[in-house]
Amino acid sequence: MNPPERIDRAGYLRLVRGQTRGTAAALGRSALAVASIGYGAVVRARNWGYDLGLLRTNRAAVPVVSVGNLTLGGTGKTPMVEWVARRLRAQELRVAILSRGYGQKAGLNDEGRVLEDNLPDVPHLQGADRTALAQTAVEQLESQILVLDDGFQHRRLARDLDIVLLDALEPFGLGKLFPRGLLREPVSSLKRAGVVVLSRADLVDAATRAGLRQTTERHAGPLRWAEARHAPLDLVDGTGAVQPLEILRDRTVAAFCGLGNPEGFRRTLASLSGTTVAFRVFPDHHAYSAHDVHDIERWAGESRADLVLTTQKDLVKIRVERFATAPLFALRIGLEILSGGDVLAGAIAAAAKDAPPAPT
């Protein structure tokens, strides 16, 4: 689940991370801790219901590969979904992506529009009833295999493989269940995972990565494990034109984003040659208004940056080609497997082996 949209997400994160001080904040965290007890009881009861067969699971007519996570916020699911879909398409399978479409009243949400841009030959269906979406994908689109986006907690649709991402920068959601922390369910739930992928693994050292795996397996037992990074690919503007990363060399950059984990974007920028002179964060899934766009243009102009950078997820909601003072680009990201690639590839191949023949 996600925090209700009416909650100020930035304020909520400051509160649960202990950055907001004072008596009122302490009382607020205590109240959230009490609420998390009830939330945890509901999550455990629901999981037990599915584990014991008391709650119904619907199986699609074709294999399903789920990509999900344990925590609220961004762990890099969208690049992982794209990577899986590309791998399946390379096997000449007809693939469809299914997702809830969080943060969108109609049409594709920001993540869906990024996937649509990057995977024009893969249909993407969004809606609350993913069992019905699966049926539509099979019966109307003749899909041979489905990729379920953000599906680890969506147990009503059976899956042949669960790929679960842990963000190396914040893997365990402050170690507490929502709403006191950012865990959607206990770490022990990773026992259900087919493969655990540590994302942004390049942003921590080898000892930290080993420690994260040890901690995870202490809660969930032995796991099939892979590690990946979000690799900058190129820059794209509002028209879809692509520029190489080399244009950042010796340039100053003003960057903004609306992500669940903006720190990952910030650190990725630091690894490039451009100097970031200003950095601005909006809430995850932020719907940019005309006022926001004008305010960003003013802010970027005051920074005197040579160019403005954002993410694809943000650019698809702005579609501005350039600002008055500087061009606007999105940094396009691709998933790169650092280790455990054979483990991940083998798990995907095993799930895909039962895909039906291509329609004639």
Residues in the chain where the model's pLDDT stays below 70:
1-8, 102-107
Give the model's pLDDT for residue 13: 84
Residue 154 contacts residue 162 (beta carbons within 8 Å) = no
The span from the CA of 282 to the CA of 35, in Å, is 27
Q: Which CATH fold topology does 64-229+337-352 show?
A: Rossmann fold (3.40.50)
**Strand boundaries in the chain, DSSP class E:** 64-69, 95-99, 124-126, 145-149, 161-167, 195-199, 225-236, 242-243, 252-257, 275-281, 307-311, 328-339
The residues of the chain that CATH labels 3.40.50.300 are 64-229+337-352
The top-level CATH class assigned to 231-335 is: alpha beta
Contacts of 24 (CB under 8 A, 6+ apart): none
Summarize pLDDT for 54-68 with one digit per residue, the tens: 999 999 999 999 999
The span from the CA of 227 to the CA of 246, in Å, is 27
Q: Quick one: which of 141, 130, 139 has its CA closest to 67? A: 130
The span from the CA of 295 to the CA of 90, in Å, is 43
Give the model's pLDDT for residue 62: 98
Structure tokens given for 297? 């243009």
Residue 323 contacts residue 298 (beta carbons within 8 Å) = no
This prediction's pTM: 0.89
Summarize pLDDT for 90-149 with one digit per residue, the tens: 999 999 999 987 655 556 778 888 898 899 999 999 998 999 999 999 999 999 999 999
Q: Quick one: which of 65, 114, 56 has its CA closest to 89? A: 65
Structure tokens given for 217? 């397996």
Residue 118 contacts residue 83 (beta carbons within 8 Å) = no
SS3 state of residue 303: helix
